Amino acid sequence: MESPVILLTFANDRDPYLPLINRERKNIMRTLRRHDDKNLIRLISESDPGLPDMMEMIRNYQDHLALFQFSSHRGGTSLGGGAVQSPGADELSTLLGSVNSLQLVFLSGNADRKLVESLFKHGVKAVLATSTDVADKQAIEFAEQFYHALASYTNIQKAFDIASSFLAAKYEDMGELHLHRDASARNLPAELAWGLYLSAGNDQILDWSLPKSSRRSAMGSRVEYETQVDVNDILIDVICEQIAEFNPDLDHELSKEELDIPSIKREIIDCFPTPIGEQLRKLFTRSNDISEPDEMEIFSLARLEQIVLTYRTSMQFVSFILLSQLWDEKYRHPELHISDDYIVEFNSFFALRDNNYESFDYVKLIRMLTDLFDEWDIKYFIDELKKVRIEEDQNTELFPSYVFMDSLHQDILDHTIQAEDIEGLCLEAEEHLGIILKSFAFLVKYKLSTIKNIEIIKRRHEDATYRHSQILLNKALTVASTGISEIGVVFTNFTDNKSVLFLKTENNEIKDYLSLSPFIIDQNALNKDYSSKLYLYAYEHGDAYYFEFLNNRLDKKLLVDSDQYDYIKEEFTKFKAILLGVDYQPKSPKTVERPASRFMKRK
């Protein structure tokens, strides 16, 4: 089966808009290139093609052309090489209207009512229209976010919604973008608004998305020769030796003549930082009643979803580590500039909303951040992260596992998993999760803690020391918080307070630390409550941020806004401003009016 063709064309106008057009071209190509490399799509890009060349390309691919884009700006080069009313524009519209496979025409920055009218008149089914007169970023950023969402296998309508939400959140003066159904050459508004225009009877186009890679191409060989295994056997088999290199207790358990499986599982759970260990704990759950096994003990859809959640939480955790360190580097070195080559992934992260956060690809964010670290020659807080590359040409084991898990995640979101496939998928997913966790096994070396409070200890004629009340987060958090206790450790220096962080210590001195706030927060530390209750950042909505409870993602989201945990909100706002290079205005402290005393009232 032939892959769908995406044809991108860009004007080459010699005016201030040209650098933005070049940015748009580079970032869209970078976003879609992986799909082209895997032959899922045929991606073609042309800068400043003349009308004859443009029409020839359309004819060459007319049996498989799915998306055609032309980027310019009003007053610049138009389709047809001149005015939109020109015979050339009509000829091009006629040709596009005759392409049965065409799903969408995207006019990026240069949409004009008469041009859109011509396209609908000649049979084009859907037009995505943005327009701008000046060299501003809005049309470019919309296109970047639209294709970024499309590359994550969302359909056209959801990609449009995500890009629209991004603009609405970033630009206060940006009006709402709408989907216009039943559009035609006769009923377009006099002043064409930005939006998605769809002709009558073509709602199926809204569901079109990029084809997905086959999970079968990413299968390992292990499942092929195993005839019968228990749940978790494959996962433990793949990761145990790598983890044992860093964990003497697990190494001891594996050396016993008779294996103690519960002890092996416990060591694996407890050696990982809690965000990962907690998800593994759920995978390893066993029922006390052998006649009624837990959903995690059988090859069930719930188990398959938990395997994927373990993968996604692990990648989310790693991306938060890198984002946290990047913020520190920008604070220490304000001159470091994030170029347009990296801005799309940052914009996509800041565009997370309740309608798209579940489909966000944290691996893409990790890949971008490691590239940025390498470009800036940043020394990684976690040294081993420098060697992890989730790239097809650099890791022939890890990359296929990422492709498999990402595709499986999309199928779960789309509710396309068939009951008869669940057992096989559980076995395959276990192996790929094991490969991914094995690649990040070095995380067990690092101490993750919640610092709940810091007490100054100062005696006369002695240097001050600092008692850190902390909870070690290298154990899974059960509902009852069994085994989680607060301990006081004295250091000669101090860290951030009420924060989740990595610690590097030596001889009672904190050599270095990395705070993961505001991406991971401990509500119990913020509220001065017992034990630990971790939340991971999920998305932004309005003027608030929402966090998911690590122990149960289905729980009500934790709201962080100006009325609740306002300093966490301020941290996130500051982080966003610094990363995007915009001015940050600290929030004015609240002033409490003191009632006048009887003395002042009478004086």
Domains and CATH numbers, the chain: 5-207 (3.40.50), 218-444 (no CATH), 446-580 (no CATH)
pLDDT higher than 90, residue 602: no
Work out the number of other CB atoms within 10 angstroms of the CB of residue 230: 9
Strand pairing class (520-522; 534-541): antiparallel
What 388-392 contacts at long range (C-beta under 8 Å, 24+ apart), as own/partner pairs, is: 388/439, 388/440, 390/363, 390/366, 391/367, 392/34, 392/37
Per 3-state DSSP, the chain is made up of helix, strand and coil in percentages (nearest 5) of 45, 15, 40
Per-residue pLDDT, averaged over 18-41, amounts to 90
Work out the number of other CB atoms within 10 angstroms of the CB of residue 126: 24
Q: For 117-131, 186-200, 462-476, which range has the lowest pLDDT when averaged over its residues? A: 462-476
pLDDT higher than 70, residue 456: yes
Residue 219 has a pLDDT of 45
Amino acid identity, residue 508? Answer: N
Residue 89 has a pLDDT of 75
Q: For 176-180, 286-290, 384-388, which range has the lowest pLDDT when averaged over its residues? A: 286-290
Question: pLDDT band at residue 461, thresholds of 50, 70 and 90?
Answer: confident
Q: What is the dihedral of CA 34, 36, 38, 41, to 10 degrees?
A: 130
Question: pLDDT band at residue 592, thresholds of 50, 70 and 90?
Answer: low
The percent of residues above 70 in pLDDT, for the chain, comes to 90
Tell me which of 583 and 31 has the higher pLDDT.
31
Whether omega before 518 lies within 30 degrees of 0, making that bond cis, reads yes
* Helix-helix angle 362-376:340-350, to 10 degrees: 140
Per-residue pLDDT, averaged over 569-587, amounts to 85
Question: What pairs with residue 474 in β-bridges?
Answer: none
Tell me which of 203 and 462 has the higher pLDDT.
203
Residue 87 has a pLDDT of 55
pLDDT higher than 60, residue 20: yes
pLDDT higher than 50, residue 589: yes
Tell me which of 490 and 126 has the higher pLDDT.
126
Residue 223 has a pLDDT of 46
Is the torsion defined by CA of 177, 181, 184, 187 positive or negative?
negative
What's the mean per-residue pLDDT of the chain? 87
Question: What pairs with residue 105 in β-bridges?
Answer: 68, 127
pLDDT higher than 80, residue 485: no
Tell me which of 222 and 485 has the higher pLDDT.
485
d(Cα 234, Cα 388) in Å, to the nearest integer?
23
Instruction: Tell me the per-residue pLDDT of 511-539, one tens digit each, with 9 for 90 and over.
Output: 899 999 999 999 998 888 878 899 999 99
d(Cα 499, Cα 327) in Å, to the nearest integer?
15
Q: For 35-49, 337-351, 366-380, 465-479, which range has the lowest pLDDT when averaged over its residues? A: 465-479
Per-residue pLDDT, averaged over 374-400, amounts to 91
d(Cα 207, Cα 128) in Å, to the nearest integer?
15
Instruction: Tell me the per-residue pLDDT of 56-109, one tens digit each, with 9 for 90 and over.
Output: 999 999 999 999 999 987 656 566 444 344 556 788 999 999 999 999 999 998
Strand pairing class (126-129; 104-108): parallel
Residue 14 has a pLDDT of 63
Spatial strand order of the sheet with 544-549 comes to 520-522, 534-541, 544-549, 558-560
Question: What pairs with residue 108 in β-bridges?
Answer: 71
Decide: 115 and 188 in contact? Cβ < 8 Å.
no
Decide: 364 and 149 in contact? Cβ < 8 Å.
no
pLDDT higher than 70, residue 478: no
Instruction: Tell me the per-residue pLDDT of 560-571, one tens digit each, with 9 for 90 and over.
Output: 999 999 999 999
Residues 6+ apart with CB under 8 A from 548: 535, 536, 538, 555, 557, 558
pLDDT higher than 70, residue 395: yes
d(Cα 365, Cα 514) in Å, to the nearest integer?
19
Q: For 169-178, 450-459, 497-506, which range has the lowest pLDDT when averaged over its residues? A: 169-178
Per-residue pLDDT, averaged over 238-256, amounts to 94
Work out the number of other CB atoms within 10 angstroms of the CB of residue 2: 10
Collapse the DSSP code of 146 into the 3-class scheme (helix H, G, I; strand E, B; otherwise coil) and give the result: helix
d(Cα 226, Cα 149) in Å, to the nearest integer?
38
Residues 6+ apart with CB under 8 A from 250: 240, 243, 244, 264, 267, 268, 271
pLDDT higher than 90, residue 585: no
Residue 214 has a pLDDT of 58
Rg for the chain (alpha carbons), in Å? 27
Residue 216 has a pLDDT of 47
Decide: 84 and 112 in contact? Cβ < 8 Å.
yes
* Integer CA distances (angstroms), 559 to 167, 540, 547, 549, 589, in order: 23, 10, 7, 11, 21
The percent of residues above 90 in pLDDT, for the chain, comes to 58
Question: What pairs with residue 515 in β-bridges?
Answer: 501
Per-residue pLDDT, averaged over 361-390, amounts to 95
Residue 329 has a pLDDT of 94
Question: pLDDT band at residue 603, thresholds of 50, 70 and 90?
Answer: low
DSSP single-letter state for residue 206: G
Closest CA to 91 of 78, 76, 108, 79: 79
Decide: 503 and 510 in contact? Cβ < 8 Å.
yes
Q: For 184-188, 192-196, 246-250, 520-524, which range has the lowest pLDDT when averaged over its residues? A: 184-188
Residue 346 has a pLDDT of 93
Closest CA to 455 of 466, 445, 444, 446: 466
d(Cα 181, Cα 120) in Å, to the nearest integer?
12
pLDDT higher than 60, residue 27: yes
pLDDT higher than 70, residue 135: no
